[in-house]
Structure 1
Amino acid sequence: MRKITTFIAVAALSFSSIGCDRFLDIQPEGKIIPVTAEDYRKVLTSAYAKYPLHRSLLALRTDETGIDENTSDFISYREIAMWKDSNNDQSTIEFPWVSFYSVVFYLNQIINEGSKTMADSPQKQQILAEAYALRAYVYFDMVNLYGKPYHAATASQDRGVPINLEIDLEQVLKPSSVQQVYDQVHADIEKADGLMTEQQQSGSINYRFSKVSLLAFKARAALYEGDWNKALGYSEQVLAVKGELSNLNTDGKAPNHYTSIESIMALDNPFNSAVQNISYASPELISKYNNAEDKRFKIYFEKNNNKYKIIKGGSSDYRVSFRTAELYFIKSEALVKLNRLSEAKDILLKFLKNRYSPAGYASVQNDISSMNVTEFMNFLMDERFREFALEGHRWFDLRRLDQKKIIHNINGQQYILLQNDVRYTIEFPKSAKKNNPFL
């Protein structure tokens, strides 16, 4: 992954060396205006490079982690772990807002202006496709941070986030509804789908969208919307062309590593070194594993005195946005919801054979065989918790499922996120509300 990071950094730096702001400034005098596909590829590379690290911060809100009070950066993160989103201490790191819209600005420039100035070519198509896909991804992430979880009955009334499709930085926009944001996400995905030329990106540029990662994105969006037929269909399409699983009985590499056979797209850094250094695996997370038979345990965690350090992430080598395992879980969950329990069990067992020792797998297989729908669904969600620990999924899974009660102990005091707590929807950042009266 260091090669990918270096590539992004070098491209962004080379771009900024001629003046990133100059390149995108619409004032012509003394400015450089992107025109060619090569120009706009640099703009797009900068958009990818600026994608926020919000998933790392989310790990501190979940039941995956505890926060180490003895670290120098503790004060910057403690209020995130307290779910304190209003009246924050000035030292508290804010969840990203401006950085999301900064990425959108680059993408709008590509879509609105690049579509006119780039000469027709497969390169132009691919650049526009990625721009639409990444813009959809921005709004999908934002609405799932700052909007209520998707419910078809209320989505048109639930507040989402402002949608900006123009280059004008002076616009002051009102939030759109959750439904409107999802509609925009789907509209951009469809635009991307019609333009995309790359089936899958190669290792060094696998942070970019492709046909396969776009399908994986469609499957995830359908999962969050509870559209089980689409979730099933999209997951099956991905698995038909990218169904490989890492067998942890023979491969000791973490399946979320960017070079893993499972990697579909590696843009997000869901557990960066800053958050790794101030956190540890929660006792609840550790208790979910059979540490003798589950091959993930020693790859994910390392004993450190009486706690477990998380070694699954912490560097850019563990960038992951979509990987094959997720599609197995989406397919299995969709099959359960469509009353096809036997098939749901089969697809999960195919996956689990690659995660447990032979003895462990035999035991799990025996347990699953007698499970009813409720029991299997609970087991499936526990397996999802185990598999995707610290990959940025847990907060969103908690939101869309039972919004359980979580307790964090910090500085000798107990902080509680109640079941169905309003804080499962993150408040707009204070700085954003200061600059936009409509928020």
Structure 2
Amino acid sequence: MKRITTIQLYILPVFLLLLISCEDLLLEQPKTVAVENFYNTAEEVETAVNAIYSPLRSTRAEQIAILDAHTDWGYGRGSRAQYNDFSGLNATNINTSGSRWNSFYQAIRNANLVIYNAPNGNDISEEEINYFIAEAKFLRALSYFDLVRNWAGVPLRTEDNMLEIDLPKSSVSDVYDLILSDLEYAEMHLNATASLIGRPTIYAAKTLLADVHLTLGNYDKAMAKSKEVIDSNNYSLVEINEANDIRTDIFGSDLVTSTEEVFYFKYSREIGQGNFMLFILNHPSTGYFNFGGAYAHYSDASNPFYINWEDGDLRKELWDKVDFGLGPNTLVSNKYMELDAVGRSDGGNDLPIYRYAEVLLIFAESSARNANAVTPEALEALNKIKRRAYGLAIDSPSEVDYSFSSGEITEFLDALLQERAYEFIFEGKRWLDLKRVGRAQEMVMKNKGITIADAHYLWPIPLSELNFNGALDPDTDQNPGY
């Protein structure tokens, strides 16, 4: 404890966290104090937990935009165009990927401080300690899940080694082992109902567990965890009738929460507390954002991805044709709308990490893969997503339903992968999905006609990390191509 206390001015940042949008606000203003005087009460530990969110919230919009420029449908403009060249990152984008790395490790460091110090509090119950450690471990797992999928093996910093500067890369399997361990603890000690909107619950932990198991190919476990979330009856898809309902009722800036929210990062119309995604995506001509927009990411109506997208799917209407110098087929997203932002970086829209739609699709995929057959339950889960996309009754059979025999597993998984692509545009899922199922090259070639360089599959370990961390060898520990 003495060693942590002596350097606490360096390792205990001061953050202001706003966890929910609109009128229900949690404002925390932690002061820089000695550790032995800080982690004693539930209020103090909660303030320390809040500091975990700040770096994750600040980098999330950028992370999503960058991931979706890597896809078969997405493009970046200006310096961001290099992401969709699929030739690896240039110096500018190596630096920006390093800033995202730093944000994840800042969140991990803040989580480690909570996990290490909370048990030593003298005026906090064991139940409260377990809960806050569970929240910290959930967020640490989420951070490492981003790191391992985009950088592969990374230094595994925990509460046990957080003061060690020189730390070697851990294997991908070791990183996943920690993720699973953290989430199993979170699942055990989080609440079934969020203590405050924006806090993770047992079901958020189960959903993240399901996604991790799906990524690892543990289909039986992914199916079981996603089914537990479904069977809780705590969530349902938001019904829609037109495309504007998606903008307002699922992603709207005035929403506090919805029946679909499993775990979101929360933002507010407050300077320094808002969502940057609106400015990244919007174009001034469309009128969906009161600060115009940088239209830094876009799509193209001549791309087969868009051409083959069925008309009548309301999600397809979340694109506007805007010729800003790249031709009349250029598409600009209007998925996130905000007319009352207080600054160009401060929209009130929350960003989903997990929606109930994804729970259904994880269940559909994992149960089909586990059975090596199209089960009725898997087919129904997939069809719920498609019916909602057409504005139809979610729980009633319809003319747009998929119909597969039990043996048409390949066709079913193809359709499911495409539904995930349509459903999660600008939610940062597609590139990771394509890598997970081993179809990135196939789909990028099909829709963009581009060969992916090996260097593009992983981001480079930042030079600052290689210089700072003496246990890393730049010649052997750097990712391929850098």
TM range (shorter): 0.7 to 0.9
| Counterparts of residues 257-336 of structure 1 (less than 5 Å) | 257=252, 259-267=257-265, 272-276=277-281, 277-283=295-301, 284=303, 285-291=305-311, 293-298=312-317, 300-305=318-323, 306=328, 307-313=330-336, 315-336=347-368
Encode CA deviations 1:262-309: one digit per residue, 9 max, x unaligned.
111112899823532311124434334323x212222x3233243221
Distance between the aligned counterparts of 1:350 and 1:90, measured in 2? 39
Aligned to 2:73: 64
Residues 138 and 80 of structure 1: CA distance in aligned 2, closer, same or farther (over 3 Å): same
CA contact 2:387–2:393 (8 Å) conserved in 1: no
Amino acid at match of 2:440: Q
Larger mean Cα displacement after TM superposition, 101-110 or 263-272: 263-272
Does the 8 Å contact 2:40/2:118 carry over to 1?
yes
Give 1:423 deviation, angstroms. Answer: 2.0
One-letter code aligned to 2:315:
R
Determine the structure 2 residue equivalent to 1:165. Answer: 158
TM-score normalised over the length of structure 2: 0.74
Shift of 1:33: 3.5
Map 1:17-416; keep pairs closer than 5 Å.
Answer: 18=31, 22-23=32-33, 33-51=38-56, 52-53=59-60, 54-68=63-77, 74-75=78-79, 77-83=80-86, 85=88, 88-89=91-92, 93-95=96-98, 96-117=100-121, 119-147=124-152, 160-166=153-159, 168-196=162-190, 198-201=191-194, 205-241=196-232, 242-249=234-241, 252-254=245-247, 255-257=250-252, 259-267=257-265, 272-276=277-281, 277-283=295-301, 284=303, 285-291=305-311, 293-298=312-317, 300-305=318-323, 306=328, 307-313=330-336, 315-337=347-369, 338-343=371-376, 344-357=378-391, 362-365=398-401, 368=404, 372-401=408-437, 402-405=439-442, 406=444, 416=450
Change (3 A) 1:176 1:355: same
Residues of 1 paired with 2:150 and 2:239: CA distance?
A: 33
The residue type equivalent to 2:207 in the other structure is: A
Q: Deviations over 1:91-115 (max 9, x none)?
A: 9523411221111111111111111
Whichever residue aligns with residue 237 of structure 1, its letter is E
Q: Is the Cα–Cα contact under 8 Å of residues 253 and 260 in structure 1 kept in the other structure?
A: no
Instruction: Give the CA RMSD over aligned residues.
Output: 3.3
CA separation of 1:287 and 1:209: change in aligned 2, threshold 3 A: same
Letter in 1 for 2:331: Y
After superposition, the Cα gap between the structure-2 partners of 1:121 and 1:288, relative to the gap in structure 1 and judged at 3 Å, is farther
Letter in 1 for 2:102: V
Distance 1:105 1:3 in 2: 20
Residue type matched to 1:210 in 2? T
Report the CA distance shift for 1:286/1:129 in structure 2 as closer, same or farther (over 3 A): same
CA distance in 1, matches of 2:48, 2:126: 17
Aligned residues: 399
User: How far apart, CA to CA, are the structure 1 residues paired with 2:25 and 2:238?
Assistant: 29
Distance 1:432 1:79 in 2: 23
2:434 is aligned with what amino acid? L
Residues 122-155 of structure 1, C-alpha deviations (whole Å, 9 max, x = no match): 43332111011111111111111101xxxxxxxx
**Percent identity between the aligned chains?**
24
**In the alignment, is the contact (CA less than 8 A) between 2:374 and 2:405 conserved in 1?**
no
Change (3 A) 1:94 1:5: farther
Contact 1:248 1:295 in 2 (8 A): no
> Does the CA-based 8 Å contact 1:407-1:417 persist in structure 2?
yes
Q: Distance in 1 between matches of 2:433 and 2:266?
A: 17
The answer to whether the Cα contact below 8 Å between 2:135 and 2:200 also exists between their aligned partners in 1 is yes
User: Per the alignment, do residues 94 and 350 of structure 1 end up closer, same or farther by CA in structure 2, a change over 3 Å counting?
Assistant: closer
TM-score normalized by the length of structure 1: 0.80
Q: Which runs of 5+ in 2 are unaligned?
A: 1-17, 268-274, 282-294, 338-346, 478-482
| 1:302 alignment partner, SS class | strand
